[in-house]
Structure 1
Amino acid sequence: MLLLLVVLAGIAGTLGYFYKLSKNAIDTITTDANPATVIPKAKSVAVKPVSIMLLGLDTRKETGSLNTDVMMIAAFNPKTKKATVISIPRDSKIELSGYNSRKANAYYANFLREAEDKTSDKAEADRTAKQGLRKMFGEFFGIPIDYTATINFQGFADVVDALHGVDVNVDMDMNYNDHAGQPDGTSIHLKKGFQHLDGEEALGFVRYRKSNDGKNMSSDFDRNRRQSEVLGEIADKLKSLSGVTKIPGVIKAVGNNMKMDIPSGEVQKMITTYFGISRSDITFIPLEGTWRSPYVYLDADKLEQAKAALRQQLAD
């Protein structure tokens, strides 16, 4: 998700002083790509459509979890300057030949465990796990997935704070404190209605599942819709005059909380290629389905529509 925010921040790419600050901030992003990697011009993101798997990982020490709380597939087309973003419900049951059936958010941890059994190099194991994840979900969606970007929750909150908050319509009262088992520090207290949220409040808004009293239940589909709403609001804020001045801080917030396997030179090209992209240029498609504990069973027709949308965006 935060790599998408970096691209949305691309309007700074041609603005002199802000470009210099943004480039310095881009250099803080952690990349697993070989620094000597040179992408041929014909295959660069500046001229060729690109697909990226975006993973939101809860890396807080209180949880010890490796499950991916947010999963998106984003496709960008440099000719149309448009993007398609598919949100995958975390509890989706994935059934694919050659792979054990699991919840969508459990595959990264499983691939990582398998890789760690074969090597003591943690960085190598992580790269192998992400390669396996890209391959599997690429087969599932019927497209090649070029890169992976992994981000943590703090990065999302920091980006919103760098923009001095976002204005969204909170769809229900939300009251939740984590105090069972090993607390993860989650505290969500929001009132229903249109309001201004800071970073921690926006994070709570997109993550909310239910209140402590069991009321106001929230589904995977609700969370995916909220993610799209906040990303759209961020995109529009970045296009505003006041948003432009905050670009370096936004990219720095991303860089401090992201790992990716995209060569740094390609990140810079991506930003300059897609500068000025706004909410109207991004098609958000949250996958839908039916909840039957413990899985979300994806709607076959909606899934095919999402696959078609990705293929169309990636067409040269």
Structure 2
Amino acid sequence: MRSDKPKKKKRTWLRVTGIVLLLLIIGIGAYVYTVWHSLNKAVETMHEPVDRVTTKRDNSLSLKSKEPFSVLMLGVDERDGDSGRSDTIIVMTVNPEKKSVKMLSIPRDTRTEIVGHGTTDKINHAYAFGGVAMSMDTVENFLDIPIDYYMQINMEGFKDIVDAVGGVTVNNDLGFTYEGVHFPEGQITLDGEDALKFSRMRKEDPRGDFGRQLRQRLIIQAVIKEGASLNTLTNFGNIFEAIGKNIKTNITFDEMVDIQANYKSAANDIEQITITGTGQTINKIWYLVVDEEEKTRVQTELKDHLNVN
């Protein structure tokens, strides 16, 4: 039986990797041929359709009409002989009219119905039981909103992307040492490996997970800044290659073009929202239990952002 204890693996930084991809797609404005060709090649590599249809929309989503959409991002650690679990689960909703993105991190131990499996379990088990499709169905049921797209992120992906943009520079407000690397206060420059460590540390931070999320946001902003700079325009081939190797998604190339054309203003306002619960041990297993009032609060906020009832 696999342990349900949090693993000391590179997963906390995964909540930023999909965001980086999505915002790079939204924000890219230099459509010279080489960029277009590199993106097309990367999308061909990472495109993987999923056999499901959302039950939360009356009509098909139209990106050309600038309708709000949602993306489920799954940070997955897969090993030989093991289907893996989605240890990082993030839902992003994108609304071009409101020019904003909302990002919700769902704790991996959240207790909910696993749709299609007939059980109530930790939400991250949906991936182990039924892959991407069951994860999308389960999260869609839990939040009561349509889940339109997914991004499955390999655990090494973020490191590759940071290295592809030539590293990042951030302003660190807390000096600390983690896994043999010292991160002093002030402006520091990080390669991919150090960026992972910088965004993983939690226990030594008096702010706990809040502090870790702050550092993750710093990394996101730095990657976007580097990726959009003139110095890296000629390096988009390496960036897209890193993305193509480490991410799977059902977003097609044409849909990415529509997102870039119609949704890039939404990247100007990224809001992180949280869902809280209480820890409970049920049948000797620890879960995070979200009460109905809290669940309804989050559902209402996301429904409003997606313009759905």
TM over 0.5: yes
Deviations 1:137-183 (A, max 9, x none): 1111110111221011211111111222222526463434xxxxxxx
- Alpha-carbon spacing, 1:239–1:27, altered in 2? closer, same or farther (3 Å): closer
Q: Which amino acid aligns with 1:162?
A: A
Conserved 8 A contact 2:72-2:150: yes
Aligned residues: percent identity?
28
Pairwise CA distance, 1:269: 2.1
Q: Which amino acid aligns with 1:92?
A: T
Which of 95, 98, 107 does residue 126 from structure 2 map onto?
107
Q: Within 2, Cα distance between the matches of 1:277 and 1:33?
A: 25
Q: Which amino acid aligns with 1:131?
A: A
Conserved 8 A contact 1:29-1:256: yes
Alpha-carbon RMSD across the aligned residues, in angstroms, is 3.5
Q: Within 2, Cα distance between the matches of 1:287 and 1:135?
A: 19
Which residue is 2:3 aligned to? none
Which residue is 1:175 aligned to? 178
Gaps of 5+ in 2: 1-15, 51-58
Which residue is 1:200 aligned to? 193
Deviations 1:49-70 (A, max 9, x none): 2111100112355x95712122
1:274 aligns with 2:266: no
Secondary structure of 1:102's partner? strand
> 1:155-304 to 2 correspondence within 5 Å?
155-166=157-168, 167-169=170-172, 171=174, 173-176=176-179, 189-191=181-183, 193-194=185-186, 195-208=188-201, 223-275=212-264, 278=267, 280-290=268-278, 294-298=286-290, 303-304=295-296
Pairwise CA distance, 1:201: 1.6
Q: Within 1, Cα distance between the matches of 2:291 and 2:226?
A: 33
Secondary structure of 1:75's partner? strand
Conserved 8 A contact 2:127-2:135: yes
- Alpha-carbon spacing, 1:224–1:164, altered in 2? closer, same or farther (3 Å): same
Conserved 8 A contact 2:175-2:184: yes
Q: Within 2, Cα distance between the matches of 1:165 and 1:276?
A: 25
TM-score by length of 1: 0.71
Q: Within 1, Cα distance between the matches of 2:266 and 2:189?
A: 23
Conserved 8 A contact 1:94-1:101: yes
Conserved 8 A contact 1:7-1:270: no
Which residue is 2:56 aligned to? none
Q: Within 1, Cα distance between the matches of 2:214 and 2:291?
A: 16
Secondary structure of 1:310's partner? helix
TM-score by length of 2: 0.73
> 1:300-311 to 2 correspondence within 5 Å?
303-311=295-303
Deviations 1:90-141 (A, max 9, x none): 2333368995332232221122xxxxxxxxxxxxxxxxx3222211111111
Secondary structure of 1:287's partner? coil
Gaps of 5+ in 1: 35-40, 112-128, 177-187
Aligned residues: 276
